[in-house]
A and B are shown apart, each in its own frame.
Chain A
Amino acid sequence: MSVGFEVNGRAVNVNVTPRTTLADCLRHELKLTGTHVGCEHGVCGACTVIVNGDAVRSCLMLAVQAKGAKITTVEGLSMEEGLTPLQTAFKKHHALQCGFCTPGMLTTLHALLSEEPHASEDRIRDVISGNLCRCTGYVTIIEAALDARSSYQSGEGDKA
């Protein structure tokens, strides 16, 4: 089936079988391999992308269901040179080690802080509980998110 949607500000049209998940479509058809696939059944959060402003699991959405949607993947967070404040905070706080969970962490936290720039530490912990990380122990990820909050509060969370 032919499906049109927008990825990271660019209009795309893909031809996929209905069973193709959005995650596989992004990775295999559009070569956006920043979106990682861990469990393929909704448990790990590595595949999180932002669809019409909402963080969703791209392994639990069909590509054909993305028709007309605006999608942001981790590649879309900083298209220009440089890193966004959230990415910079991840680097500063060592919030990644192997990096497998990182795209999902970044997209989830970006969606959260864009919508709730004053999210409390408890709220951030609750939201991140849906994303597994085998390396960091999470503490540094929470620290990075708390550090990046101020840039979302001043409306600069998007700026690289």
Chain B
Amino acid sequence: MKLPHFDYQAPVSLAEAVALLAAGDGSARPIAGGQSFLPVMAFRLAEPSLLVDLRNIPDLSGIEISDAWVRIGAMTRWRDLLDDARLAEALPLLPAAIDHVAHYQIRNRGTVGGSLAHADPAAEMPTLALTCEAEIDVVGAKGKRVVPASALFTGALSTSLEADEIIVAVRFPAWPRTRRWGFEEFSRRRGDFALAGVALCYDEDDKGRAKNVRIGAISVADTPIRLKAAEAALEGRAVDTAAIEAAQAAASGEVDPAADIHASARYRKSLVGTLLNRALVSASTRKAK
């Protein structure tokens, strides 16, 4: 389908972009890679009066790794993440999961900030941000603020961002080298959106028991969610077969997914448990560094 009519500007500073969005009073929208928003407009889910292209604004892309954070600029593309070998050391969950995002050509344009703002519950990045307790740096007409991932996603394709707010970067707290992690998702074809997915990480105490267990799920609710019952089932326990099975049962029990043309609710409930089981097996058996 052809796109609706809109005006287009590509400002060269963040301040200018914010001013354009603020003047648009909700009908002006930022555009990053366009890999979600062009289809959204083609389907007439949005008909903005003005598109504010972020591509000429300096310093919005790039990956910085420090002792405290892995900071990813909003305009960093999927392929930039996959090309950065440092991430496999610093935050291995990230590249493992991003490898499942979309197809080759889409990864050449789609961005991290666009994915967070698009807030698709079937997308990987929102669940990763929630699971890793990332913080999102935002700039708007009222100035800067930091939004924890847990406060960003308010519903399917909706966030707590104001219309004049632009995501500048997402910061993932740095990981201890010994942290264990797992990622599993299932889709009909590689690169398609997941029917369900699970991202997790935990540390081990000196007796080998799991602590700081964090489990996030994709495609089982309106927003990315944490699987709190499954986390509780593992916290303080050695991650053995019995613990993994308890977590699997807890996960299938606690989610209330919707049915759609791709999968029934019952199937998704069962799938999320199976994926959690697989992710925990791979997390607990991966050779420690």
Contact = CB atoms under 8 A, between A and B. Distances in A.
Interface of A: 1, 17-19, 21, 24, 40-42, 45, 48, 54-57, 59-62, 64-65, 67, 108, 112, 126-127, 129-130
A130 B42 contact: no
B1 A41 contact: yes
Given A40-B42, A130-B191, A57 B5 contact: no
A47 to B, nearest CB: 9
Contacts of A130: 102-106, 191
Nearest to B43: A41
Contact of B34 (A1, A24, A48, A60): A60
Contacts of B190: 126, 129
Interface of B: 1-8, 10, 34-35, 38-39, 42-43, 51, 53, 55, 79, 102-106, 108-109, 189-191
B1 A40 contact: yes
Contact of A17 (B5, B42, B108, B189): B5
B106 A61 contact: no
A55 B108 contact: yes
A25 B42 CA distance: 16
Contacts of A41: 1, 38-39, 42-43
A56 B6 contact: no
Contacts of A67: 10
B118 to A, nearest CB: 13
B8 A60 contact: no
Given A55-B108, A108-B105, A129-B189, A62 B34 contact: yes
A45 B102 CA distance: 12
A21 B51 CA distance: 14
Contact of A45 (B5, B7, B53, B105): B105
Contact of B108 (A21, A56, A62): A56
Contact of B104 (A19, A40, A65, A112): A112
A28 B191 CA distance: 31
A57 B3 contact: no
Contacts of A59: 38
Nearest to B35: A60
Contact of A18 (B6, B55, B106, B109): B6
A45 B4 contact: no
A42 B7 contact: no
Contacts of A61: 34, 38, 109
The list of the 8 closest CB pairs from A to B, nearest first, reads A130-B103, A18-B8, A41-B39, A54-B108, A19-B3, A127-B104, A60-B38, A55-B105
Given A60-B106, A129-B103, A65 B35 contact: no
29 contacts: A17-B5, A18-B5, A18-B6, A19-B2, A19-B3, A19-B4, A19-B5, A19-B6, A40-B1, A41-B38, A41-B39, A41-B43, A42-B38, A42-B39, A42-B106, A45-B103, A55-B104, A55-B108, A56-B105, A56-B108, A60-B35, A60-B39, A61-B109, A62-B8, A64-B10, A65-B55, A126-B191, A129-B190, A130-B103
Nearest to A18: B8
Contacts of A17: 5
B53 A65 contact: yes
